[in-house]
Structure 1
Amino acid sequence: MAPREYGQYDGVTRALELVGERWAMLIVRDLLVGPRRNGELAAGLPRIPSNILASRLKELQAAGVIRRAPRSRIIIYELTPFGRELEPVVLALGAWGFKALGDPRAEQIITPDSMTMSLRTAFRPQVAASLPATAYAAHLGAAELSIRVDGSALDVRRGDGPADLAFAAGPGIHRVISGELAPGRAIETGVVEVLRGPGDLLDRFATTFHLAA
């Protein structure tokens, strides 16, 4: 199926024609974290039908947003420089959508790439620059992330690792990021479980990563 055309001539219309189809922006979101194989994209978007994923990838390639790149006998998908220009758009869209996030439904999950982009969206480099360098190991549902904040620099990678604070949480971590739930209260009520390290470092986490709901 050909991408829809709206019959109007302006930048917003053209942008929606390129990336406005269902799932397209979520594919872009995940590729902003890093190049992905087809199977990795499917795993990060567990509800996307395989035929729709194939269609969106072809459409995004045709639009010059992504490209196929052979890497040692495998094919990966990565953003082109044109596609990477969408990063501030995706971050702004995430901040806007955060205001209407509401409570998580039982079937909603956190993926490593979605949470990585949530952290990038909520990161406050000016605040972090005045705080000591801190490493966090976050177990967020099935996602395990190693988060390092050093001054105004943020590095988020998949997996566990050495950390000043390791904690586990579900989608409710967004209530801490929004300021709706104080870090201490989040620990008391079990929304966040401290695995190792001093629990008061969750206050630093909430100060470093904050988005007003």
Structure 2
Amino acid sequence: MTAREYGQYCGVTRALELIGERWALLIVRDLLVGPRRYGELAAGLPRIPSNILAARLKELQAAGIIRRGPRSRIIVYELTPYGRELEPVVLALGAWGFKAMGDPRTDQIVTPDSMTMALRTAFRPDVAADLPPTAYGARFGDAGLLIRVDGPALHVARGDGPVDLSFAAGPDIRRVISGELAPERAIATGVVEVLRGPGDLLDRFASTFHLAA
């Protein structure tokens, strides 16, 4: 590992030495969604310099957090079991950071992997367990996701399929998830555009995915 050392014998210190370098945790975040090729990681983190991405991948491999898993002749990167133990840490950080997000800047984007992890962070399985199974087709900017909720189980994937409600939204969907903006008001003001299906299902979405700001 070439990451910085803090000179302290502490679990938090060691964790920061392993994943505290810039971009490292975002690489882990995207790999929690699924294995990714180098180009897919670069596309999901459009501001990361190529030399930094290569360095972080090498460091994370050396730490046993990720590994190269060959698929035919294509090399993909995936989390090791040790790396997957970071999932509750990443989800907790996402919930904590959500409280300080504020309004989106014009240069900020939503990626499929970042939105997938945001939905996993906001998912309330206890609420969903009492609701009918529901499928949502959601487009967040360029990120198109198929969201299936079946009781306490959540499945999020890229692509299309049969859905009960299809809608489009920008980063301001945060205001719906936080409860700051009521679903019907979000539709009326254009924060959410219903593409197909009954708009009142957005109430179910807001109940199923909720994080207090």
TM range (shorter): over 0.9
| Cα separation, 2, equivalents of 1:174 and 1:51 | 33
Q: What's the RMSD between the two structures over aligned residues?
A: 0.7
SS in 1 for 2:13: helix
Match of 2:28 in 1: 28
Match of 2:94 in 1: 94
| Cα separation, 2, equivalents of 1:211 and 1:120 | 11
Match of 1:43 in 2: 43
Match of 1:159 in 2: 159
- Report Cα offsets for 1:71-108 as digits up to 9, x if no partner: 11000000000000000000000000000000000010
1:154 maps to a residue whose letter is L
| Cα separation, 2, equivalents of 1:205 and 1:177 | 9
| Cα separation, 2, equivalents of 1:196 and 1:68 | 40
Match of 1:184 in 2: 184
Q: CA deviation at 1:50?
A: 0.3
For these two proteins, the number of residue pairs brought into alignment is: 213
2:203 maps to a residue whose letter is D
Q: CA deviation at 1:162?
A: 1.1
SS in 2 for 1:181: coil
2:131 maps to a residue whose letter is L
Pairing 1:134-145 to 2, within 5 Å after superposition: 134-145=134-145
Pairing 1:1-213 to 2, within 5 Å after superposition: 2-213=2-213
Unaligned runs of 5+ in 1: none
SS in 1 for 2:18: helix
Unaligned runs of 5+ in 2: none
Q: CA deviation at 1:47?
A: 0.4
Paired-residue identity, %: 84
Q: CA deviation at 1:188?
A: 0.3
